[in-house]
């Protein structure tokens, strides 16, 4: 019999970074704890016919009855994130259902074999030129971001582009970078984005065209730098797959998304019809959002209808069609849960009445600062606020009526304050775990959150330096023009 001392030592279990679910629930607990520490307070609000929302009144902040969030609030937060009729926070149920409809739609299209065969044909034609997909696609997403604040609607593209990038020899992280950084840079450099620049300018009391030149410069420089970074990473991964930040997930991701190299089926006329209907569905969604004023319910409907239509065209039969749709929705159920968890964080903070207190502290911090210091501190204040309020339109309505007028006393134009706001909100929404778009997109592409942080950190540092320099130059140019 072997003595205990002689028994071989077991190898200790490797420590793993927590999953997205653990991170988000931990943040709910942290925010709930902060509601016991940060004083509760509120600004008075008045209805704005221009914005269609209630806006805070500068100078009206006052302490209010504390409402610290306890254990029960923490437990209920993920549920309240989906549907909370009491909170001022937008519910996540519509976004979650949108994701499930996309999953069902993709499940049906995949069952026809059209996606795998189409990817194989596309990769054959692009052979040796795959890298040029990256700037082209990022340009399209950036265009959507700068014009209409493309965010939740990008979730529909992760399940489409991830297998394409994997088949091209890249990885799932490349797909996330193309979509999230592409649209995110567009939002960061918003020009006519109604959900960021326009609503913020209206709340600040200035035309949204004021400051447009500087925003275009920020957009162009940020886009060029980010595209170069993503292309460089993608080429390294293609040359040596072991250099991928998600290399340990390579086999699992290829098995999940399918590898075009393994597809042997012919690209038939039926596949072409299915892919035509597939592309038309996305085009209808983009048209509806851009021109038709659609939101999640209207955006979900085309995927439901097209899923049924493609199942009929593809001759799947009633049983296979239902199984494919339900199976596809099931694959994205975890994403829907993540979206509710992320929104639950904001629900707890809102219920604890701490958001206005943080805004009041920000207002006090920037008062009396010199112009260049003021605009850069303003940028960092908006960065902090964006973590707590990931909605650009929500943050614009909350912060601009309070912080934009402070710029008058510092000698900084309100339009430059708006630029600082939109740049800060744009950069934070590339990484913040309180954003359903970030956490949902990563979950769909099966990229761990900490790997995304490792990838995007150099981008964040570079963009921060660029933005702060641009804001400082903007202040100097305003001073020279006086």
**pLDDT band for position 87 (50/70/90)?**
low
Say how far apart CA 172 and CA 163 lie, in whole Å: 8
The percent of residues above 90 in pLDDT, for the chain, comes to 40
Q: Cβ distance 104 to 303 under 8 Å?
A: yes
Which residues, other chains included, contact 74 with Cβ-Cβ below 8 Å and sequence gap of 6+? 28, 29, 32, 348
Q: Environment class of residue 278 by beta-carbon count within 10 Å: exposed (0-12), middle (13-18) or buried (19+)?
A: buried
Q: What stretches of 240-316 show up as alpha helix (H) in DSSP?
A: 250-257, 269-291, 296-313
Tokens of 85: 């009729």
Task: Report the range out of 51-55, 101-105, 408-412 with the highest average pLDDT.
Answer: 101-105
Tokens of 217: 């410069």
Q: What stretches of 16-132 show up as alpha helix (H) in DSSP?
A: 20-34, 71-82, 93-111, 114-126
**pLDDT band for position 181 (50/70/90)?**
very high
Say how far apart CA 84 and CA 147 lie, in whole Å: 31
As a whole number of angstroms, the longest Cα–Cα distance in the chain is 91
Rounded (10°) CA dihedral 301, 307, 310, 314? -170
Which range among 77-91, 133-147, 323-337, 435-449 shows the weakest confidence by mean pLDDT?
Answer: 77-91
pLDDT of residue 264: 44
**pLDDT band for position 85 (50/70/90)?**
low
Residue 482 CB: number of other CB atoms within 10 A?
5
Say how far apart CA 71 and CA 25 lie, in whole Å: 12
Are β-strands 53-56 and 41-42 bridged in parallel, bridged antiparallel, or unpaired?
Answer: unpaired
Is residue 49 assigned to a domain?
Answer: no
**pLDDT band for position 414 (50/70/90)?**
very high
Q: Is the pLDDT of residue 92 over 80?
A: no
Is residue 448 assigned to a domain?
Answer: yes
Is residue 4 assigned to a domain?
Answer: no
The mean pLDDT value of the chain amounts to 86
Give tens-digit pLDDT for 129-169.
888 989 999 998 998 889 878 887 788 889 888 988 998 89
Is residue 66 assigned to a domain?
Answer: no
Q: How many domains, in total, are found in the chain?
A: 1
Q: Is the pLDDT of residue 382 over 90?
A: yes
Task: Report the range out of 317-331, 378-392, 455-469 with the highest average pLDDT.
Answer: 455-469
pLDDT of residue 56: 86
pLDDT of residue 29: 94
Q: Is the pLDDT of residue 400 over 50?
A: yes
Averaged pLDDT, 250-263: 70
Give tens-digit pLDDT for 420-474.
999 999 999 999 988 888 998 999 999 999 999 999 999 999 999 999 999 999 9
- Dihedrals φ, ψ of 65, to 5°? -60, 130
Q: Is the pLDDT of residue 4 over 70?
A: no
Q: Is the dihedral of CA 278, 298, 390, 408 positive or negative?
A: positive
Is residue 167 assigned to a domain?
Answer: yes
pLDDT of residue 12: 44
Q: Which of 350, 359, 368 is nearest to 399 (CA)?
A: 359
Residue 361 CB: number of other CB atoms within 10 A?
15
Averaged pLDDT, 376-383: 94
Averaged pLDDT, 397-413: 87
Averaged pLDDT, 400-429: 91
Give tens-digit pLDDT for 9-28.
444 445 566 777 888 899 89
Is residue 12 assigned to a domain?
Answer: no
Is residue 71 assigned to a domain?
Answer: no
- How far lies 118's CA from each of 138, 194, 221, 267, in Å? 21, 36, 34, 7
Residue range of the domain that includes 105: 20-32+77-481
Say how far apart CA 238 and CA 232 lie, in whole Å: 10
Is residue 191 assigned to a domain?
Answer: yes
Residue 316 is given by DSSP the state -
pLDDT of residue 1: 40
Roughly how many angstroms between the first and final C-alpha of the chain, as a whole number?
91
Q: Give me the long-range contacts of 301-307 (CB less than 8 A, separation at least 24).
A: 303/101, 303/102, 303/104, 303/105, 303/156, 304/101, 304/104, 304/105, 306/105, 306/277, 306/278, 306/280, 306/281, 307/101, 307/104, 307/105, 307/107, 307/108, 307/109
State CA 107 to chain mean position distance.
23
- HSE on the CB side for 79, CA within 13 Å? 6
Q: Environment class of residue 174 by beta-carbon count within 10 Å: exposed (0-12), middle (13-18) or buried (19+)?
A: buried
pLDDT of residue 460: 96
- Please tell me the pTM assigned to this model: 0.79
Q: Is the pLDDT of residue 173 over 90?
A: yes
Which residue has 């995949």 as its token pair?
110
pLDDT of residue 7: 41
- Dihedrals φ, ψ of 56, to 5°? -70, 150
Averaged pLDDT, 92-119: 85
């Amino acid at each position: 019999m072997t003595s205990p001392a002689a028994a071989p030592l077991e190898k200790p279990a490797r420590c793993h970074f927590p999953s997205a679910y653990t991170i988000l629930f931990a943040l709910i607990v942290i925010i709930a704890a902060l509601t016991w520490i940060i004083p509760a307070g509120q600004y008075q609000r008045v209805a704005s016919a221009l914005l269609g929302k209630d806006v805070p009144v500068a100078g009206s902040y006052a302490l209010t009855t504390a409402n610290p969030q306890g254990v029960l609030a923490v437990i209920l937060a993920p549920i309240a994130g989906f549907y909370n009729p009491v909170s001022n926070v937008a519910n996540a149920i519509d976004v979650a259902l949108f994701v499930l409809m996309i999953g069902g739609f993709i499940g049906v299209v995949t069952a026809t074999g059209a996606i795998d065969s189409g990817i194989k044909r596309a990769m054959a034609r692009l052979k040796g030129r795959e890298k040029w997909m990256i700037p082209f696609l990022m340009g399209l997403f950036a265009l959507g971001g700068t014009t209409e604040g493309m965010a939740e609607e990008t979730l529909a593209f992760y399940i489409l582009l991830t297998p394409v990038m994997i088949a091209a020899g890249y990885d799932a992280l490349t797909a996330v970078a193309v979509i999230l950084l592409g649209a995110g840079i567009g939002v960061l450099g918003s020009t006519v984005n109604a959900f960021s620049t326009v609503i913020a300018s209206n709340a600040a009391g200035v035309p949204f065209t004021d400051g447009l030149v500087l925003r275009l410069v920020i957009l162009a420089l940020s886009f060029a730098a980010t595209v170069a970074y993503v292309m460089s990473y993608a080429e390294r991964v293609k040359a040596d797959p072991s250099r991928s930040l998600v290399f340990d997930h390579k086999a699992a991701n290829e098995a999940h998304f399918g590898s075009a190299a393994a597809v042997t089926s012919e690209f038939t006329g039926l596949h072409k019809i299915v892919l035509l209907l597939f592309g038309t569905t996305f085009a209808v969604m983009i048209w509806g959002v851009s021109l038709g004023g659609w939101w999640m319910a209207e955006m979900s409907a085309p995927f439901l209808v097209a899923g049924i239509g493609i199942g009929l065209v593809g001759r799947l039969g009633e049983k296979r069609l239902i199984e494919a749709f339900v199976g596809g929705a099931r694959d994205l159920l975890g994403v829907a849960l993540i979206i509710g968890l992320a929104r639950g964080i904001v629900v707890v903070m809102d219920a604890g009445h701490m958001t206005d207190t943080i805004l009041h502290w920000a207002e006090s911090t920037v008062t009396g600062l010199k112009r260049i210091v003021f605009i850069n501190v303003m940028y960092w204040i908006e960065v902090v606020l964006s973590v707590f309020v990931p909605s650009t339109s929500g943050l614009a309505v909350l912060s601009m009526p309070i912080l934009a007028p402070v710029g008058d006393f510092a000698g900084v134009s309100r339009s430059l304050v708006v630029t600082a706001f939109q740049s800060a909100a744009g950069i934070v929404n590339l990484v913040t775990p309180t954003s359903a778009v970030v956490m949902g997109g990563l979950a769909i592409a099966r990229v761990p959150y900490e790997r995304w942080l490792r990838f995007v950190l150099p981008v964040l540092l570079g963009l921060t330096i660029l933005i702060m320099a641009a804001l400082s130059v903007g202040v100097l140019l305003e001073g020279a023009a006086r």
